[in-house]
Structure 1
Amino acid sequence: MRLSPDALAADDWHLVVAHGAAAVQLAPNWPSLWLPLRGRLAMQAPDAQWCLRAGEAQLWRAATLRVQGSHESRWIGLTASQEVWCRHFANLRDEEEPLPWRGEADDIHDALATLVRDDTALDALLPALLERQRDVAACLPRCRGRTLAHRRQALLRLLWLRHLMQCHVEADDDATVDVAWLAERAHYSPGHLIRLHRAVFGETPSDYFARLRHARAWQLVRETDMPVATITHKLGFESQSAFCRAFKHAFGMTATEARRLETNACAA
């Protein structure tokens, strides 16, 4: 199902309630909120594919988005034009706009699920969303730009790049993702991207990517029996020895020692 802006009222909210392998495609400039109640959602945007699992939620504000449920899934989506989102957010807090995030759905699950049968649940959902983006919004003053709109656009670009890095690591994709590749997608020079990202988040894009990759390495080592050589390839390390050095430097132990901890914990 393609939700075309031409077919949707631009001055109202639109709720999507679906189950099974139903699919929805949204055009750009239509922010949306997604919550799988059961199963998972396969999400696809330019340069990125990822999954939302039950218990997670995501507020999307970027390019074209395609969403498809797994066969056993039940899921909810909420979308509206950018103007509707911005107007309602600004009514709650001056000059506020929706910002993208992804994470646990604890604080918005009940309000969004209730919205299926009660339109007034929107009055509880929107303040919860505003509170949810507080940490992201705190980055806005550190962005460069002559106006608030320019600074917000810079933050949205950076958040999109961080999302791309997260998707790449979660997919265990060994394709190259470097600063030059990221800078091209944000229409920045590599040097400008590094400076801006460091000013806003306190770390370079490479630092952030390394943290994500280390966290994924720890997950694969501790939660799977995947051979280290396979993990090395999946995470894009140059060699198994390079992976082992990086793992030891990040966690103070070898992958074998980390797995032994897991075995001992299970035995206990």
Structure 2
Amino acid sequence: MDVLSDAIAAMRTGRPHSSRTYRHAPWGIRFAPSNGAGFHVVLQGSAWLLPSGDGAEPVALGPGDVVFLSHGRGHGLASAPDVPLEDFALAPDGSWPKTEGDRAASTVLLCGAYQLDRARAHPLLAELPEVVHLPARVGEHASLRSAVELLGAELADAQPGSDAVIPALLDTMLLYILRAWWLREQAAGHATGWAAALRDPSVTAALYAIHDDPARPWTVEELGARAGLSRAAFARRFAASVGASPLAYLTWWRMTTAGRLLREEDLPLRQIAERAGYTSEFAFSRAFKREFGVAPGQYRRVRAAG
């Protein structure tokens, strides 16, 4: 698995939701804080993003602009910064409400939301800014634009298979948004932390090794060899970029993988322990409880009930 895809898969829970909406000025929507993340795309017309928080400035959005709010903060979206906001409400089944197409609408929006497990937020996502704004520019983010067009078409005119196509396109959009941000930070020379780590071939080689086979009893020497560095040089470089030592990150990723398996798979604890790199179910349970505060069986029951 590549690290970006793996980080998303580790946090994601449930099905993402989206809608294509048509608005007549003046209009304003208030989105409450949530545990997830969301995006807005202006397909036609214009809008203003109104971030929450002291000193947060409104962001003008034009046709083709994409904004991604990674930390679930409450925010507003409106035809103008001073328009009163109405609370956004989900449909009774928990999905986003649909609106009928209206050629006379002043603004057409494509909006979506992802459910994420904030308790195991991957540091790659935790480092994102509150608002990722990707303005529409000719020749940039072609893959993201294609995904937007495909998703917008599916939402505007559902066809056989749309129930499977739409979640897949939403997952694709999320990865394209993050990739676009990451490439922009690198091109501007602003890459730090994980954005810099994914640019460093030595650190990336070690991360790929960990993500590809977390059950392997990796040593710092072995990971350093994958990175093409001495043990000491690799350990310093890895910790400076990732924010944790190689073995600390390995343990964190093993436990994160185990948590996902407990949520999503009906596997015996012995198999989950093996996939997390533990030959003893007892040792795995002890390590899991130290990390999550509850035993694996209790974690599985609570997540199944919730």
| Higher RCO (C-alpha 8 Å, min separation 6) | 2
Q: Which has the larger radius of gyration?
A: 2
Normalising by structure 1, we get a TM-score of: 0.45
The structure carrying a bigger helix percent of its residues is 1
Normalising by structure 2, we get a TM-score of: 0.40
